[in-house]
Amino acid sequence: MKEIILYVLLLMILYDFSLHLLELIIGSECARKIKYYWPKFETKGKFDRKKYTKFWICYWGAALILLVVYLLF
């Protein structure tokens, strides 16, 4: 079980890292065109900051919970 938690944390970190790396290498507009990779935070065709914030709070909140579980067991 500990190994699975560690791999999930690693994948979460690599995913976020690669989002930022793609944004730096090919630019944010090109990176956001990768539909199945870059999350969409749009409401009525416009960027929705609230959705963006909720997504990343949940994402890193889950990572924090997984890290605490990993460290406790």
Separation of first and last alpha carbons in the chain: 9
Tokens of 72: 């406790």
Looking at per-residue pLDDT, the higher value among 9 and 36 belongs to 9
Domain count, the chain: 1
Which tens digit of pLDDT belongs to each residue from 10-52? Answer: 999 999 999 899 999 999 888 888 877 777 888 998 989 999 9
Which residue range(s) make up the domain with 13? 2-72
The runs of H, that is alpha helices, within the chain are: 2-26, 28-32, 49-72
| Rounded average pLDDT over 41-68 | 94
Residue 1: the pLDDT is 85
pTM: 0.81
What residues contact residue 71 under an 8 Å CB cut-off, 6+ apart?
Answer: none
Residue 43 has φ and ψ, to the nearest 5°, of -130, 120
pLDDT at position 53 is 95
